[in-house]
Structure 1
């Protein structure tokens, strides 16, 4: 009986208890960052400050997985892929797990000196923002079960879980503030978040989802990401805004893909979604009919 109960909660099974390739793949992918981190720790590849490296890696993966979680609903609609919804809860719990590991490793790094930990969180704004995001994710994870939906009621539960967007924004702010000089990755993740928010607005405003509208969304968020990155460097480091923006443009001018900036990656991600939508929708350009073939068809019809 116990084995049967455990099997019912196996992450690779769907709600009917059948093996789901999609769920199994998602679960395996969630484990990979943790396994890599464990291997690097075991083999001494985490550098001179292994705990600090582990803290950073788990935090970064938490935000990445959280963004993938937020991508499930819009991609399900855009690609008309209903089965995607089956992995959303698992992904959300994965993001929460990495966030809690991030917090635990931070406490280990400070030797569980609670006085020091609390003072650091209070004194450093980026830590204050980060701890709020972690506790917010924990609250969403704790209330993610079907039982909690019934206890809270669907509307109250939905209002609570809509806070995931605010929590994501706080997590991204925490990441950007602690990155200090190089904000390439925070800029990329913020750009992807903006793209997901735009998809959400398109759905709320009932805008038509076409290849053209998705391409426009991709280009708009790519440009916005480039401008945001430019503004960040200009205001926090004193680097010329024109130099940063020109770095984005030079890639397009000289087609040097080695130096793709965050804005380019965001645009490419959006264009990939547009292409996938076109393929899933069966959009095909009609093949041109040869003149000779057209004449033969006309003669046959006569």
Structure 2
């Protein structure tokens, strides 16, 4: 193909093309292997030094093989090619490439990314931890065998309980797929919720610290979460929807919760001479809700 039709590589090399290496290739008498080109963009995936060597030799065409895939897949292919042959990638190049692969393929395990980049799995794990704030928190990793492996089975159960609360009509197979657990485990989670039990068996919960036990509640304890969101999830919980007492509780909660700016709209209706009485009523209700929160806070997820 014509060299003039090619675009520069999205290379894992931080310092770009090495002119001295390209000149060494240009002096070789043997035919160089075809370059690899991303067909959708005509960007070089592997072989920029060979392209430069051809230009130095006065050639206008070069042998090429095409790759049809996404930009992220093309970059991954570029890293693998540059690690396996040609001018070696520096440690800095490999670490930067690992960071990009983590961002584009967060499901890949540390060992899988290490195999692609030529780094140690421990180094990839360190990069993942430093990038944790920018990466999605997933419960599954795709290993070097190409199969998904759950990181934390308890976390998968918790995720399944959240999905069931939000969309109770979903089939078990779909719940299992999204939560990264087996269909049998998803079935067990649904059955436990219907019995009013925690999604994770109590024995596993006891082995965890206080911070982990707090996570056993699929509705969370965030003080900034929208109460309407929590109400919707409670309303979808089978253990509440399928009992009269649970439905009565849901109806009561919907009439009691005051959120956002709802209360501000009501304050204009309070005459000045009633302000103290309404304020006292608000304080009394606040005290009651605090007592409810303390009582429920003393209960463990197993209870």
Shorter-chain TM-score bucket reads: under 0.3
Higher RCO (CA < 8 A, seq sep 6+): 1
Larger Rg belongs to:
2
Normalising to structure 2: TM-score of the pair? 0.25
More helix by share: 1
